[in-house]
Amino acid sequence: MFSLFQYEFMQRAFLAIVAMSLFAPLLGVFLVLRRQSLMSDTLSHVSLAGVAFGLFIGISPNLSTIVVVILAAILLEYLRTLYRNFLEVATAILMSVGLSLALIFANTGRGKGINLDQYLFGSIVTVSQTQVILLAILAAIVLVVFVLFMRPMYVMTFDEDTAFVDGLPVRLMSTLFNVVTGVAIALMIPVAGALLVSAIMVMPASIAMRVGLTFKRVLMFSVIIGFIGMLTGLVISYESGAPASATITLVFIFVFVMTLSISKLKTTFK
Amino acid sequence: MDYIKVNNLSFVYDAEPVLENVAFRISAGEFVTLTGENGAAKSTLVKATLGIIKPKTGEIKIAKQNIKGKKLRVAYLPQQIASFNAGFPSTVKEFVISGRFPRSGWFKRITQHDLEHVEKSLRSVGMWEQRDKRMGALSGGQKQRVAIARMFASDPDLFILDEPTTGMDDVSRSEFYRLMSHAAHRHGKAVLMITHDAEDVKAFSDRNIHLARKQNTHWRCFSVHENTAEQSSKALENKEASGV
**Can you tell me the distance from the alpha carbon of A41 to that of A196, in angstroms, rounded to the nearest whole number?**
8
- Mean pLDDT of the residues in chain B: 85
Half-sphere exposure of A202 (CA within 13 A, CB side): 18
Asked if A145 reaches chain B (Cβ–Cβ under 8 Å), the answer is no
Mean local confidence (pLDDT), A233-250: 91
Q: What is the pLDDT of residue A26?
A: 96
Cβ contact A167–B102 (<8 Å): yes
Domain with B134, as residue range(s), is 82-155
Cβ contact A164–B52 (<8 Å): yes
Q: What CATH number does the domain containing B219 carry?
A: 3.40.50.300
| Tens digit of each residue's pLDDT (9 = 90 or more) over A26-68 | 999 999 998 888 888 889 889 989 988 998 888 888 889 999 9
What's the N-to-C CA distance of chain B in angstroms? Answer: 8
Cβ contact B102–A152 (<8 Å): no
Q: Which residues pair with B225 in a beta bridge?
A: B210
Kindly identify which residue of chain A lies nearest to residue B92, measuring between CA atoms: A214
Cβ contact A158–B87 (<8 Å): no
**Can you tell me the distance from the alpha carbon of A201 to that of A160, in angstroms, rounded to the nearest whole number?**
22
**Three-class SS state of B209:** strand
Percent above pLDDT 70 for chain A: 97
Kindly identify which residue of chain B lies nearest to residue A168, measuring between CA atoms: B102
- pLDDT-based confidence at residue B41 (cuts at 50, 70, 90): confident
- Please say whether the dihedral angle defined by the alpha carbons of residues A181, A186, A191 and A197, taken in this order, is positive or negative: positive
Q: Specify the DSSP element, H or E, that contains A146.
A: helix A129-158
**Three-class SS state of B16:** strand
Residue B221 lies in a domain: yes
**Can you tell me the distance from the alpha carbon of A101 to that of A119, in angstroms, rounded to the nearest whole number?**
15
Of B128, B155, B182, the residue that ends a domain is B155
Cβ contact A214–B84 (<8 Å): no
Q: What is the pLDDT of residue A110?
A: 73
**Torsion, CA B8, CA B11, CA B12, CA B13, rounded to 10:** -170
| Tens digit of each residue's pLDDT (9 = 90 or more) over B83-97 | 666 678 899 999 999
CA B36 to chain A, closest CA, distance in angstroms equals 22
Asked if A167 reaches chain B (Cβ–Cβ under 8 Å), the answer is yes
Output the DSSP codes for A91-116.
Answer: HHHHHHHHHHHHHHHHHSGGGTT---
Of B137, B155, B173, the residue that ends a domain is B155
Kindly identify which residue of chain B lies nearest to residue A35, measuring between CA atoms: B85
Cβ contact B52–A165 (<8 Å): yes
**What is the tally of structural domains in chain B?**
2
Residues in chain A closer than 8 A to B87 (CB atoms): 209
- Which among B96, B108, B238 is positioned nearest to B181, based on CA atoms? B238
Cβ contact B106–A152 (<8 Å): yes
Q: Is the per-residue pLDDT at B229 higher than 50?
A: no
Cβ contact A212–B89 (<8 Å): yes
**Can you tell me the distance from the alpha carbon of B45 to that of B184, in angstroms, rounded to the nearest whole number?**
21
| Residue type for position A232 | T
Cβ contact B98–A164 (<8 Å): no
Nearest-5° Cα angle at A79, A77 to A83: 125
A2-199 maps to CATH 3.40.50.10860: no
What are the extents of the domains in chain A? Answer: 2-199
- DSSP summary character for residue B227: P
Q: Which residue has the higher pLDDT, A266 or A254?
A: A254
- Mean pLDDT of the residues in chain A: 89
CA B112 to each of CA A68, A150, B106: distance values in angstroms, whole numbers, following the listed order = 48, 20, 16
Cβ contact B89–A215 (<8 Å): yes
Q: Are residues B64 and B128 in the same domain?
A: no
Q: Which residue has the higher pLDDT, A101 or B216?
A: A101
Cβ contact B78–A159 (<8 Å): yes
Residue B77 lies in a domain: no
Mean local confidence (pLDDT), B4-32: 88
| Tens digit of each residue's pLDDT (9 = 90 or more) over A78-134 | 887 777 667 778 888 888 899 899 888 888 877 677 777 778 888 888 888 999 999
> In three state form, how does the secondary structure of B20-66 look?
EEEEEEEECCCEEEEEECCCCCHHHHHHHHHCCCCCCEEEEEECCEC
Nearest to A213 among B76, B78, B91 (CB): B91
Mean local confidence (pLDDT), B121-141: 90
Kindly identify which residue of chain B lies nearest to residue A205, measuring between CA atoms: B89
Beta strands B222-225; B31-36: pairing state: unpaired
- pLDDT-based confidence at residue A142 (cuts at 50, 70, 90): very high
Polymer length of chain A: 270
Interface mutation vs chain A, best among B101, B155, B162, most A CBs within 10 Å: B101
**Can you tell me the distance from the alpha carbon of B115 to that of B131, in angstroms, rounded to the nearest whole number?**
12
Cβ contact A148–B107 (<8 Å): yes
**Three-class SS state of A7:** coil
Kindly identify which residue of chain B lies nearest to residue A208, measuring between CA atoms: B89
Cα radius of gyration (chain B): 18
Residue B41 lies in a domain: yes
Residues in chain B closer than 8 A to A214 (CB atoms): 89-91, 94
Of B115, B131, B155, the residue that ends a domain is B155
Q: Are residues B103 and B117 in the same domain?
A: yes
Q: Are residues B3 and B53 in the same domain?
A: yes
Q: Are residues B147 and B162 in the same domain?
A: no
Nearest to A158 among B47, B88, B91 (CB): B88
CA A159 to chain centre: 23
Interface mutation vs chain A, best among B50, B80, B98, B192, most A CBs within 10 Å: B98
**Can you tell me the distance from the alpha carbon of B229 to that of A192, in angstroms, rounded to the nearest whole number?**
70
**Can you tell me the distance from the alpha carbon of B34 to that of A178, in angstroms, rounded to the nearest whole number?**
37
Q: What is the pLDDT of residue B221?
A: 56
Q: What is the pLDDT of residue A111?
A: 67
The B-side interface with A (CB below 8 A) comprises: 47, 50-52, 74-76, 78, 81, 84-85, 87-91, 94-95, 98, 101-102, 106-107, 132, 134, 154, 160
CA A237 to each of CA A17, A72, A245, A256: distance values in angstroms, whole numbers, following the listed order = 14, 33, 9, 19
CA B50 to each of CA A80, A240, B14, B71, B164: distance values in angstroms, whole numbers, following the listed order = 21, 59, 21, 16, 17
Q: Are residues B125 and B172 in the same domain?
A: no
A92-101, A214-223, B31-40, B217-226: least confidently modelled range: B217-226
- Which among A196, A206, A190, A194 is positioned nearest to A248, based on CA atoms? A196
Q: Which residues pair with B35 in a beta bridge?
A: B210
Cβ contact B85–A152 (<8 Å): no
CA A15 to each of CA A27, A191, A224, A241: distance values in angstroms, whole numbers, following the listed order = 19, 12, 15, 20
For residues A37 and A203, is the Cβ–Cβ distance under 8 A? no
Asked if A147 reaches chain B (Cβ–Cβ under 8 Å), the answer is no
**What ipTM does this complex have?**
0.85
> In three state form, how does the secondary structure of B58-126 look?
EEEEECCECCCCCECCEEEECCCHHHCCCCCCCEHHHHHHHHHHHHHCCCCCCCHHHHHHHHHHHHHCC
Q: Are residues B117 and B49 in the same domain?
A: no
Asked if A270 reaches chain B (Cβ–Cβ under 8 Å), the answer is no
Interface A-B: count of C-beta contacts within 8 A: 65
CA B197 to chain centre: 15
**Can you tell me the distance from the alpha carbon of B41 to that of B59, in angstroms, rounded to the nearest whole number?**
18
Asked if A152 reaches chain B (Cβ–Cβ under 8 Å), the answer is yes
- pLDDT-based confidence at residue A231 (cuts at 50, 70, 90): very high
